[in-house]
Amino acid sequence: MKKSIRAYCGSLLGFLLLDAVWLGLIAKDSYIAAMAGLMRSDVHIWPWIVFYSLYCMAIVYLVIRPNYHVAQSKNVLLGGAILGAAAYGAYNMTNYALLAGWPLGISLQDWAWGTVVTSLSGYCGWRLAQTTN
């Protein structure tokens, strides 16, 4: 149980930090420019809390737990990338297919980012789970 808690905390912290840098610094302007007409003036925080909480649980269950006893990180990184590509691909391609004005460029950029951030967040959680008491 302690290992799962460490894995969850590591993946959540990694995800929050990486996504903060991505959304707050690197991609902020491109997202705003591409989706200016779609953005709320008052941002709702609770959907982010729900997403980060549940998604990191999925990372732990699907990516980290099966690799607790693996000495090398390649399976964790690959598993995280596959989960990220599937989850972010479903989100972005569904939005692009259904929503008028949803930009393809942002969909592809976000899809790639989701693949990377899920992989790296899984690695962060796996590394923390490897620490001893």
Is residue 107 within 8 A of residue 92, CB to CB? The reply is yes
Q: How far apart are CA 86 and CA 16, in angstroms?
A: 20
The single-letter DSSP state of residue 9 is H
| pLDDT tens series, the chain, 133 aa | 899 999 999 999 999 999 999 999 999 899 888 888 888 889 899 999 999 999 999 999 999 999 999 889 999 999 999 999 999 999 999 999 999 889 999 999 999 999 999 999 999 999 999 986 5
